Amino acid sequence: MTRTTHILFSILLSVLLTACSALDFGIRGKVSLEDADTVLTEAEQSLETGDHESALDGLRALLQVEGLPTSQRTEATKMFATAAAQQIEVLSANPKRAEELADFVEEELPREIAVSAGVASAHSFIKNGEAEEAWKILRRLDERFPLHHERATAGRLLVDVGLTLSHDKRSWWVFWSARSEGLACLEYVVLNHPSQSRCDEAYMRLGEMYAEDHQRSLAIDRYSDLILYHPKSPLRAAAQAHIPMLRLELLDSPEYDRNGLLLALAELKDWEHRFPNHPLSETVFQTHSDCLRRLSASDLGIARFYERIGNAKGREFHAKRAGELARDAGDTELAASADDLLTTHGSTDS
């Protein structure tokens, strides 16, 4: 930046600041203690004619006046709340005015009115396709009014918003993505609105998202939370089916993860017992077979190790078990490999 440009920029900035200060002074200077009765009268007339915005502007300015007598401040506050409630009703009918509704959340209004404005603004933002703005205002409501009377409605809206954002492909470089906002929103729901009946949907989508991101342990945690906190949910069967599948994906090698394989096998058997006619039955059956193959491969590897060190009993025990598991899985090749270890060396019982 050249010296001349720097000077011009400084002058322009000074002018803008002066203008803003003058504007602010003008707004505050419009109302004084002497004008209080007039402002109250005009606000009352505006309310009678349905001009809520004018009433709100005048009353807002009056309430900023220092030294306003208690009686006038009380009257102004009541009228402001009335005007706000009526204006909120008007704005709620027009989704395009969602931001104006959201502004009321920061006003010094009775809790019920401010909360109603916030919920109404969230509805409007959702209708406008601005789910991220709905997420912001609903979170702000919880911050200002932790136990507000519309928590149930807010919780349902948060689930809607989180699900919508979680499928949204929009992003801005590496700094922001709608999907990340959706994940944050759904995590917020299950943490701050645990009694919300639709938390099962939030847990389910979180499990899916973490699985998509290859964060399998987190996915298992969220699916497990769904089962624990929503045992009668229609989503339970699908969530419970995903857990052993993800557990198998976590296992790198059958030689060192037998406990994980046994846990997955127990989970698969339990699922098949609970949900025999579920649409996922075929997928679970295939996963069950895969788990048995891995266990067979594990035993086969151990049997070959015992063969190398000359431990006949160990070789025979694990080879037999590998063959049984392979046959249960329908894997003839693995079963044949296990049988070869037995027939080649014979049984220790002979």
In whole angstroms, give the CA distance from residue 127 to residue 113.
21
Is-contact 300 322, C-beta < 8 A?
yes
Token pair, residue 290, equals: 């895969």
Task: Please return the burial class of 299, using the count of CB atoms within 10 Å of its CB with bins 0-12, 13-18 and 19+.
Answer: buried
pLDDT in tens, 221-247: 999 999 999 999 999 999 999 999 999
Instruction: Tell me which long-range contacts 216-222 makes (C-beta under 8 A, separation of at least 24).
Output: 216/246, 216/247, 216/249, 216/250, 217/250, 219/246, 220/246, 220/247
Is-contact 115 142, C-beta < 8 A?
no
pLDDT at res. 79: 86
Nearest to 315 by CA among 303, 302, 324: 303
pLDDT tens, the chain, 350 aa long: 444 444 444 444 444 444 443 333 333 347 788 888 888 888 888 888 888 888 888 888 888 888 888 988 888 888 888 888 888 888 888 889 999 899 989 888 888 889 999 999 999 999 999 999 999 999 999 999 998 999 999 999 999 999 999 999 988 887 889 999 999 999 999 999 998 889 999 999 999 999 999 999 999 999 999 999 999 999 999 999 999 999 999 987 666 688 899 999 999 999 999 999 999 999 999 999 999 999 999 999 999 999 999 999 999 999 999 999 999 999 999 999 999 988 876 555 54
pTM exceeding 0.75: yes
pLDDT at res. 6: 44
